[in-house]
Structure 1
Amino acid sequence: MIEIRTPRLILRRWNDDDLVPMADINADSQVMRWIDDGSVRDLEYTADAIEQWEEEWDEEGFGLFAVELLASGELVGFTGLSVPEFLPEVMPAVAISWRLGSQFWGQGYASEAAHATLEFALQDRGLDRVICINRMGNDASENVIRKLGMEPELETEHPVYGYPLHVYAIDLTEFEA
């Protein structure tokens, strides 16, 4: 089983104990305002999502990691890799993303987890290139993207919701572990 440890975090596959804390994160309007139409999600949605994330691990050899605090074992949220099929103009691609509970914002956890995931993508999984898709105005995520060393590549719109998106990219030759 894949597990990545950083100085403060463990990135790992999902287990049954993650459902309720992840559902709490998905039910937070502050967290979800940047996701799709901004709607909060319930326990059933979260259970289905975790099942899909685990299936992606099995099919692709990568996916979204559950992220927990090393010191307490508390679930922080997720970070990981996925295939952004919803945005055809960037395909083929693998995208890095994250979603953390609002109580964990502003402490560097997203950057720490995303950097470990990017290193995993480029060094362990042998990907040549990783992208990140960010909704314009989400400055906190924009800061994480810059810390990863990603460069702007494309401006587009969400195909369903119509809001503007920035697409960033980094390839193996630009990555510094």
Structure 2
Amino acid sequence: MADYLFKSKRLGFRNWKESDKPKMGMINSDPKVMEYFPKIPTQQETNQHIDRMRTQFSENGYCYFAVDKLENGEFIGFIGIAEQTFESDFTPCVDIGWRLARTEWGQGFATEGAKRCLEYAFNEIGLRNIKSICPEINDKSESVMKKIGMKKTKSFYHPLLSEYKELQKCVLYEINNNI
């Protein structure tokens, strides 16, 4: 059994392992999973992303966490919080995000996991504000943002997506720690 940093009812959250890299590469290679991203990342790009998350975890105590289903220990993707530093009027910020294997969609895992990550961010790390960003056309992610209590702050043109007309207009949601 894995050593989890924290758990929700059905999910375990942990730092990344080398053995996650090929599994995350498979998730990232699914065109439906990556529908609202500019391109499907290579395995090398996936590995680099995981290495960045490990570094963020060692520096900050958080990242987009590797997520397993507790019932069987199966790795299903990531849910968590990570630093965003692209050029905008609201960065640097801490962003909440998720990416799960398509076979796990429609079961409430993203919402359940994101709620638990907010609890961790606010109660255990002491963060004051979390943001979330997605292209305006990504209704599924925007729905999760609403379900976890986030409020829409604005729409904006993402500077890193300027070459992708269908993706460049994004929504920004946020939630504050009111404790």
Aligned length: 172
Q: Which amino acid aligns with 2:133?
A: I
Where does residue 107 of structure 1 map in the other structure? 107
TM-aligned CA deviation for residue 122 of structure 1: 0.8
Where does residue 76 of structure 1 map in the other structure? 76
Aligned pairs for 1:113-132 (under 5 A) are: 113-132=113-132
TM-aligned CA deviation for residue 2 of structure 1: 5.8
- Structure 2: distance between partners of 1:33 and 1:120: 29
Paired residue for 2:12, among 4, 10, 13?
10
Which one is further off, 6-15 or 82-91? 82-91
Change (3 A) 1:171 1:17: same
Q: Which amino acid aligns with 1:170?
A: I
Paired residue for 1:168, among 169, 173, 176?
173
Q: CA RMSD in A?
A: 1.4
- 1:108-148 superposed Cα distances (whole Å, 9 cap, x missing partner): 00011111111111111101111111211111111110111
TM-aligned CA deviation for residue 42 of structure 1: 2.3
Q: Which amino acid aligns with 1:65?
A: F
For structure 1, the 5+ residue unaligned runs are none
Task: Give the secondary-structure state (helix, strand or coil) at the position aligned to 2:84.
Answer: coil
TM-aligned CA deviation for residue 99 of structure 1: 0.6
For structure 2, the 5+ residue unaligned runs are 163-167
Normalising by the residue count of structure 2, what TM-score does the alignment of the two structures yield? 0.91
TM-aligned CA deviation for residue 88 of structure 1: 2.2
Find runs of 4+ consecutive structure 1 residues off by over 2 angstroms: none
- Structure 1: distance between partners of 2:21 and 2:83: 23
Where does residue 153 of structure 2 map in the other structure? 153
- Structure 1: distance between partners of 2:120 and 2:31: 30
Q: Which amino acid aligns with 2:170?
A: L
Change (3 A) 1:92 1:41: closer
Where does residue 49 of structure 1 map in the other structure? 49
Paired residue for 1:26, among 28, 39, 42?
28
- Structure 1: distance between partners of 2:161 and 2:5: 35
Q: Is 2:70 the counterpart of 1:65?
A: no
Normalising by the residue count of structure 1, what TM-score does the alignment of the two structures yield? 0.92
Q: Which amino acid aligns with 1:46?
A: T
